[in-house]
Amino acid sequence: MDSTRQKKIGRLIQKEMSEIFQMEVRDITMGTMVSVTTARVSPDMGLAKVYLSIFPATQKEEIFKNIKQQKTKLRFLLGQRVGKQLRVIPELTFFIDDSLDYIERIDDLLKE
């Protein structure tokens, strides 16, 4: 169960990372739309799991690989934005959120 502080920091990271992906790192995302679905923070506030949705899905693996390679740059950009609010900027780990694909698959199965 996440504490209130973890949830607040998770929402802050989600909001700021969304803006970073939209505005600042077009070179990493190669012009595709990357949205941050959730961000979960560990109890010690040292690690943040960031779940991403990538559209269109044609180059999903390549873009995700670029994002993982550039995670230090992304953490630096996050630190510039939230450095006054957080004592320690958490390490970022990225995961692909495939819940939308799962929902679409279930819808297709129900239509048959």
Domain count, the chain: 1
**Would you state the pLDDT for residue 108?**
84
C-alpha–C-alpha distance, residues 65 and 68, integer Å: 5
CB-based contact 11:64 (threshold 8 Å): no
Identity of the residue numbered 38: T
**Would you state the pLDDT for residue 1?**
67
What pLDDT digit, counting tens, does each position of 55-108 carry? 877 788 888 999 999 999 999 999 999 988 888 999 999 999 877 777 778 888
Domain residues for the domain of 38 are 4-111
pTM of structure: 0.84
Average pLDDT in the chain: 89
**Would you state the pLDDT for residue 13?**
95
What CATH number is attached to the domain comprising 97?
3.30.300.20
